[in-house]
Structure 1
Amino acid sequence: MCKRCDSLININGSGLLNAFMGGLMTDGCVVIWTVFLLSSVMGYKPVIIVHGILDGPRQFEILAKFINQSHPGTNVTTLALYDYTGSMKPLWQQVDGFREAIRPIMESTDDGVHLICFSQGGLICRGVLATLPTHNAHSLILLSSPLAGQYGDSSYLKYFFPTFIKSRLYHFCYTTCGQRISICNYWNDPHQRERYLNSSIYLALLNGEIEHANSTAWRDSFLRIQTLVLIGGQDDGVITPWESSIFGFYDSNETVVEMEKQDWYLRDAFGLKTLNSEGAVVKCVVRGVHHTSWHSNHTVYKNCIDKWLT
Structure 2
Amino acid sequence: MKLLSNLILTVLGTPVVLWHGMGDNCCHSFSMGAVSKMIQKKIPTVEYVKSLMIGDSEGSDTSNGFLMPVFQQLDLACQQIQADPALQNGYHAVGFSQGGQFLRALAQTCPSPPMKNLISIGGQQQGIFGFPKCPDGSSICEYVRKMLNWGAYTSFIQSRLVQAQYWHDPLQEETYKEYSQFIGVVNNEHEFNQTYKDNLLKLENLVLVKFEKDSMVVPKESSHFGYYSPGQDAEILPYDQTELYTEDRIGLKTLDTAGKLHFFTFAGDHLRFTDEEFTENLAQFLA
- Normalising by the residue count of structure 2, what TM-score does the alignment of the two structures yield? 0.84
CA distance 1:153–1:131, change in 2 (3 Å): closer
What does residue 79 of structure 2 align with?
100
Q: Secondary structure at the match of 1:228?
A: strand
Partner residue in 2 for 1:176? 155
For 2:283, the equivalent position in structure 1 comes to 306
- Other-structure match for 1:134: 112
What CA deviation, in whole Å up to 9, does each residue of 1:41-61 have, x standing for no partner? 944200011111111121212
TM-superposition CA deviations, 1:47-82 (whole Å, max 9, x none) = 011111111121212211221112235201112224
Work out the CA distance in 1 between the residues paired with 2:189 and 2:249.
7
Structure 1 45/189 Cα, relative in aligned 2: closer, same or farther at 3 Å? same
Q: Is the 8 A contact 2:82 2:112 kept in 1?
A: no
Quick one: distance in 2 between partners of 1:157 and 1:249?
26
Q: Does 1:77 align with 2:50?
A: yes
Asked if structure 1 preserves the Cα contact closer than 8 Å seen for 2:121 and 2:271, the reply is: no
Correspondence list, 1:135-284, <5 A: 135-156=113-134, 160-161=141-142, 169=148, 171-179=150-158, 180-212=160-192, 215-251=193-229, 252-254=231-233, 255-284=235-264
Q: CA deviation at 1:104?
A: 2.9
Q: 1:119 to 1:183 in 2, by over 3 A?
A: same
C-alpha separation between the residues in 2 aligned to 1:162 and 1:128?
Answer: 27
Shift of 1:161: 4.5
The answer on 1:67 being equivalent to 2:47 is no
* In structure 1, distance between residues paired with 2:144 and 2:201: 41
Deviation at 1:250, TM superposition (A): 0.9
Q: Which runs of 5 or more residues in structure 1 are unaligned?
A: 1-40
Q: Tell me by how many angstroms 1:108 deviates.
A: 4.2
Structure in which a larger fraction of residues adopt helix:
2
Assess, with a 3 A threshold, how the Cα gap between structure 1 residues 133 and 298 changes in structure 2: closer, same or farther.
closer
Deviation of 1:170 (Å): 6.3
The equivalent residue for 2:64 is: 86
Aligned counterparts of 1:64 and 1:108: Cα–Cα separation in 2: 16
1 or 2, which has the higher strand percentage? 1
**1:220–1:76 distance in 2 versus 1, CA, 3 Å:** same
Asked if the contact 1:44–1:309 (Cα under 8 Å) also holds between the matched residues in 2, the reply is: no
Query: Take 1:246 and 1:94, find their aligned partners in 2: how far apart are those partners?
Result: 23
What's the CA shift string for 1:14-62, capped at 9, x where partnerless? xxxxxxxxxxxxxxxxxxxxxxxxxxx9442000111111111212122
Q: Which runs of 5+ in 2 are unaligned?
A: 1-9, 56-60
Instruction: Tell me which residue corresponds to 2:6.
Output: none
State TM-score, norm by structure 1. 0.78
3-state SS in 2 of match to 1:192? helix
Q: Secondary structure at the match of 1:155?
A: coil
Structure 1, residues 233-274: CA drift from partner, whole Å, max 9, x if none?
A: 121210111110010011233211010011021111111110
* Identity value in percent: 27
Q: Aligned letter for 2:41?
A: Q
Shift of 1:133: 3.5
Q: Match for residue 102 of structure 2? A: 124
**2:144, 2:196 → 1: CA distance?**
37
Pair 1:163–1:81, CA change in 2 (3 A):
closer
